[in-house]
Structure 1
């Protein structure tokens, strides 16, 4: 069976090179995958840490347009798999016809979600606590990363992931998401009702602090009256680091098994 190509989309604070094990795994499963960075990302973690200025004031619309332009150059429409803000981007690309199917892993909330658990608020405070951060990049500390991403890991394992993969992230997407329900034509809005689209899998780690299960469940409910397929899978006992920590293969297995079950 010939599979559609896969585009992997990272979220805030993680460099696209963290998808390297997924690209190898997908190749074994018969999928050709790529992981382009966000507009402004440099080629590797060290370079982006040294000069993150290209990410200043990069927002949701710019990120979506960046991936849409890349997809326009591909010979066929891909499957998109995104984590965190990458999961929000994946939903937008799917709704606008740029993908044949999408997987949104612990996706940032789309417009219409009103739930705001404490852990989500605390995870966003390093950025949202200072309005000036809207127009610049912000780096997490190891302690902040341990709470937001690594809460289900040992501190040693969390710190290792922090050192290996984290980069400064633009503050603008978080501000846009936080104000989505009060903003007309918000870039975090996704057509959950009328879009004639391919299937969508939403997933959530049950212990995720950055995008709690309650939030992803609320996203799934927004799709309840959609004529297109929307499924939800919960990874019990997993936090926001689930795509990059030692258990990432369990996540990949579920995602690819779902894609194959849907005929992709």
Structure 2
């Protein structure tokens, strides 16, 4: 997805006095029609490039931000905090870091359109409306899911999924973090028990890997991977914001 997927969250947070930055990933700061027409635009984009891009944006801010990221963005949130950035982090249904071994069948099926073909490594891969509904927006009706697919879906780079899937076989995996780092900013994991792309059991294991610092876990019933846009999103952002402010000395700059 593109920053359009945050269209409800941004005004919600701005109405509460926060400056909100919702940057696109590198090479994805284009109209969705252009990205859909040419999936090669995002081909080969990897986790390190995405993380470096956000780290550079954060370095320009006057105060340390609350960092919120969803899915691969939730993995990037963990990597940014591991670099010493941010006043607090919220990893929403996050892709897992190196050391998380659980891969439920539903997660594998959701990832197959990308990682099922090794030649996709350097490609941008779209989902069909049916694939999107099964793996991403399964808490919605088929009609509502198709509307969400039409409004927000773009081809995604497959490389981050390969990097996450093979991380435990790679001693130099780009998804590794220091789970014992005590000076990391507080980190909240948010999961949904209906998510098939990143099932709650995977998020729970990711959370348990953190051995020091503040790392909390929050799970919402009935929420799919499309939690940021499906009905009830206000509770998710509201509770995430409340937690983040309570654990970040009330910073007023957000990302």
Q: Deviations over 1:34-82 (max 9, x none)?
A: 1101111033322222234331101111110111111112222211100
Q: Could you say which residue in structure 1 is the equivalent of 2:187?
A: 200
Report if aligned partners of 1:42, 1:48 keep a CA contact under 8 Å in 2: no
Q: Which residue pairs with 1:49 in the alignment?
A: 36
1:215 and 2:212 equivalent?
no
**RMSD value, Cα:** 1.1
Give 2:157's aligned residue.
170
CA drift at 1:198: 1.3
Deviations 1:222-259, CA, capped at 9 Å, x for gaps = 01x21x11110000111101111222212111111112
Task: In structure 1, list runs of 5 or more residues that go unmatched.
Answer: 1-13
Trace 1:1-264 onto structure 2 (pairs within 5 A): 14-223=1-210, 225-226=211-212, 228-262=213-247, 263-264=249-250
Distance 2:113 2:140 in 1: 21
- Asked if 2 retains the 8 angstrom alpha-carbon contact of 1:95 and 1:195, the reply is no
What secondary structure does 1:135 align onto? Answer: coil
Which structure has more relative contact order (CA 8 Å, sep 6+)? It is: 2
Q: How many residues align?
A: 249
Q: Is the 8 A contact 1:161 1:245 kept in 2?
A: no
For structure 2, the 5+ residue unaligned runs are: 251-255
Cα deviation, 1:96-154, whole Å, max 9, x if unaligned, reads 11211100000001100111100000000001110010011000000000011111111
Q: CA deviation at 1:195?
A: 4.8
3-state DSSP of counterpart to 1:233: strand
Query: Retained in 2: the 8 A contact 1:83–1:106?
Result: yes
Do 2:39 and 2:125's aligned partners in 1 also have CA atoms closer than 8 Å?
no
CA distance in 2, matches of 1:70, 1:52: 25
Cα deviation 1:178-222 (Å, max 9, x = unaligned): 000000110111111125111100010011000001100100110
> How many Å separate the matches in 2 of 1:44 and 1:247?
27
